[in-house]
């Protein structure tokens, strides 16, 4: 039988409820009641679900520009740039709603990657040397938001995406793929197959394979270590980093079948 104290103070918010859930409640015959344990389990389950959602959504959002933005930006770069405002509006609106807060947080972070993609692939895609600086266009805003604790999950997603992009660019520089990047951007589509095939031959050298192993290992390590954390933000970071491997593999597959 559960002993209740009618004079006990009422719990007024979730934080207080979580704290009280960790403390022993009334007992009978020396056994602790199950109410606090059940509540703690629910909190843990929700936290785990949020982490999995953040991870999966981050992986999906990294791939979105490849399949959706890339075709759009080549045809209508101005429209792709304008869509950034829609992403931001949607994200800030969802942030105000408790049941959509996670998605709003991620969309705000995604908007900075979309903005960078619209700018680079719309007007600078033939110059690979400005790719990373343009991809970092949202970094100052993200750092300010982090300073004030806003959109934390989206910020970590953006940082993970930017880190993955940096690793990819480093591979292009180290292996000598920059000339093929330029040729691919300025040549007609009919020559794309030959350019990709030439790039593949460069990747299959000892130097290309060696750098691939080193940088791939780095991506896997820095993508999986955050998954040990209980923080949803770090899971978003890990999802963005690991999904870079999938996106990069698309280039390799395209070169193989070119």
State the Cα–Cα distance between residues 148 and 138, nearest whole angstrom.
16
Query: In this structure, are residues 95 and 108 in contact, taking their beta carbons and an 8 Å threshold?
Result: yes
Count of CB atoms situated within 10 Å of the CB of 230: 10
Which two three-digit tokens encode residue 119?
Answer: 């700018």
The answer to pTM > 0.75 is: yes
152: Cβ–Cβ under 8 A, 6 or more apart, which residues? 105, 145, 146, 233
Q: What is the pLDDT along the chain (258 residues), one digit of tens a residue?
A: 444 444 444 434 433 434 444 444 444 444 455 555 555 655 567 788 999 999 999 999 998 787 888 888 988 999 999 999 999 999 999 999 999 999 999 999 999 999 999 999 999 999 999 999 999 999 999 999 999 988 999 999 999 999 999 999 999 999 999 999 999 888 888 888 899 999 999 999 999 999 999 999 999 999 999 999 999 999 999 999 999 998 888 878 877 776
Residue spans per domain, the chain: 56-256
- Confidence (pLDDT) at 35: 54
């Amino acid at each position: 039988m559960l002993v209740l104290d009618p004079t006990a103070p009422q719990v007024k918010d979730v934080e207080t409820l979580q704290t009280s859930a960790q403390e022993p409640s009334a007992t009978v015959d020396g056994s602790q009641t199950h109410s606090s344990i059940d509540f703690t389990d629910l909190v843990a389950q929700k936290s785990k679900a949020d982490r999995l959602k953040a991870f999966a959504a981050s992986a999906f959002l990294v791939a979105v520009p490849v399949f959706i933005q890339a075709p759009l930006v080549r045809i209508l770069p101005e429209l792709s740039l304008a869509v950034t405002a829609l992403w931001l509006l949607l994200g800030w609106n969802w942030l105000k709603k408790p049941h959509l807060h996670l998605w709003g947080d991620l969309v705000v972070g995604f908007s900075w990657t979309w903005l960078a993609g619209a700018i680079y692939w719309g007007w600078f895609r033939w110059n690979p040397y400005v790719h990373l600086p343009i991809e970092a266009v949202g970094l100052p805003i993200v750092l300010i938001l982090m300073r004030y604790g806003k959109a934390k999950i989206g910020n970590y997603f953006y940082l993970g995406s930017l880190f993955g992009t940096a690793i990819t660019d480093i591979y292009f520089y180290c292996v000598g793929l920059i000339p093929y990047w330029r040729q691919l951007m300025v040549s007609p589509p009919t020559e794309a197959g030959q350019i990709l095939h030439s790039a593949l031959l460069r990747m299959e050298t000892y130097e290309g394979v060696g750098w691939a192993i080193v940088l791939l290992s780095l991506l896997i390590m820095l993508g999986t270590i955050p998954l040990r954390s209980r923080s949803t933000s770090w899971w978003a970071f890990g999802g963005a980093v690991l999904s870079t491997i999938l996106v990069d593999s698309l280039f390799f597959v395209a070169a193989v079948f070119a």
